[in-house]
């Protein structure tokens, strides 16, 4: 595993830049390429720093017509794509963003919002809000850096909470460990349940989760603009992420790949069921984009048994509406969970 530095060294001439942080990006890439392939954790941390360095450049000044400036923006788009591919090879998924920041759009229907902006922002304002402002900045004639330009964007409810490596202890309250009986337990050995949780998408009885690359599962309620999937690991890479329903005994009943911050897909869901010994009778919706997610979805809702999906991926047998209904607790498919009810109505 290595990052190709041809564009950075060649047309973009990063090593000759007068700006130290631009040269630092190349130095970090070269250091990454020398790291032992077996040290996935260290390599993921370096990829994270590379992306933060790239984002610092891409928010410092809007693109110009100069050949060198255009070459650098193109080189950083290529670098972002390579970082994403490297993370996947290391068993992880980075925050969602167009690789080319010139393609960032505020409209959520286009699927081109950037959550690296949320991560970079000292106030951690919501990525969907900052993306709209970034698009506006790109189309402006401003000489200001993006952060100065966006200073008047409302903070909302104190900004998104990000629990980075300096706040590992605070993460522990959301940690869910599976015991030998397959029950999720908190630090006090009490069952973890989503009964009292809420997700904006799933509704009442649903929580959001991330699985760290080291296999630690974190679960909590979703609060727009305050507590997102990015919160648990401070915006760092994840092995998987989505929404989850856990019953009162701590048994996982349902998982899906619903996350805008990481856009987890089938690969991440397969990784999830391999890393965590989830009950084979639990059910999984591994491809939400194919399901109820207008306007991009096809309307096809395909749930599988976890055991079948673990063995066969999307070649598993789709479940009937009756079977899915049996696995979802009544309190997680009530009138307070309208999205789930609409999904159920679409299953054959």
Model pTM greater than 0.75? yes
Task: Quick: pLDDT tens for 137-183.
Answer: 999 999 999 999 998 876 665 688 999 888 888 999 999 999 999 99
CA 250 to chain CA mean position, Å: 24
Supply the Cα-derived Rg of the chain in whole angstroms.
21
* 202 in Cβ contact with 246 (< 8 Å): no
d(CA 327, CA 282): 7
Q: Which one, of 2, 64, 79, lies nearest residue 37 by Cα?
A: 2
Task: Specify the length of the chain in residues.
Answer: 348
d(CA 55, CA 63): 13
- Residues whose CB falls within 8 Å of the CB of residue 24, separated by 6 or more in sequence, listed in order: 53
Q: What is the mean pLDDT of residues 73-86?
A: 95
d(CA 60, CA 57): 5
d(CA 33, CA 10): 17
Q: At 66, give phi and psi (nearest 5°).
A: -65, 140
Residue 8: pLDDT over 90: no
Which strand (E) or helix (H) includes residue 13? none
Q: Which one, of 317, 327, 324, 310, lies nearest residue 273 by Cα?
A: 310
Which strand (E) or helix (H) includes residue 152? none
Q: What is the DSSP letter of 178?
A: E
Q: Strand ranges (DSSP E) for 70-142?
A: none
Task: Quick: pLDDT tens for 240-291.
Answer: 999 999 999 999 999 999 999 999 999 999 999 999 999 999 999 999 877 6
Q: Which one, of 302, 332, 333, lies nearest residue 320 by Cα?
A: 302
CA 222 to chain CA mean position, Å: 14
């Amino acid at each position: 595993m290595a990052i190709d530095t041809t564009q950075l060294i060649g047309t973009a001439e990063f090593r000759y830049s007068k700006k130290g942080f631009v040269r630092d990006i190349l130095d970090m890439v070269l250091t990454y390429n020398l790291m032992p392939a077996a040290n996935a954790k260290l390599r993921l941390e370096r990829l994270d720093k590379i992306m933060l360095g790239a984002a610092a450049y891409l928010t410092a000044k809007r693109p110009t017509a100069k050949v060198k400036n255009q070459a650098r923006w193109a080189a950083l788009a290529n670098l972002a794509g390579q970082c994403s591919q490297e993370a996947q090879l290391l068993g992880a998924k980075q925050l969602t963003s167009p690789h080319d920041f010139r393609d960032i759009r505020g409209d959520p229907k286009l699927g081109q919002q950037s959550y690296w902006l949320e991560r970079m922002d000292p106030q951690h304002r919501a990525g969907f809000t900052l993306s709209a402002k970034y698009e506006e900045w790109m189309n402006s004639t401003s000489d200001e850096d993006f952060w100065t330009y966006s200073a008047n964007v409302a903070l909302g409810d104190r900004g998104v909470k990000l629990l980075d490596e300096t706040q590992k202890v605070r993460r522990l309250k959301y940690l869910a460990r599976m015991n030998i009986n397959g029950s999720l337990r908190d630090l006090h050995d009490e069952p973890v349940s989503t009964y009292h949780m809420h997700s904006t998408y799933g509704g009442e009885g649903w929580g959001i989760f991330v699985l760290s690359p080291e296999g630690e599962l974190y679960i909590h309620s979703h609060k727009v603009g305050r507590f997102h999937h990015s919160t648990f690991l401070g915006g760092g890479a994840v092995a998987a992420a989505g929404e989850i329903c856990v019953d009162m005994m701590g048994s996982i009943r349902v998982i899906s790949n619903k996350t805008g911050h990481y856009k987890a897909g089938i690969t991440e869901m397969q990784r999830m069921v391999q890393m965590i010994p989830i009950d084979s009778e639990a059910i999984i919706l591994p491809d939400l984009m194919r399901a109820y997610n207008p306007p991009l979805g096809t309307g096809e809702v395909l749930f599988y048994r976890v055991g079948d999906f673990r063995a066969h991926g999307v070649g598993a047998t789709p479940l009937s509406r009756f079977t899915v209904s049996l696995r979802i607790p009544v309190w997680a498919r009530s009138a307070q969970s309208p999205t789930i009810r609409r999904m159920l109505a679409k299953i054959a």
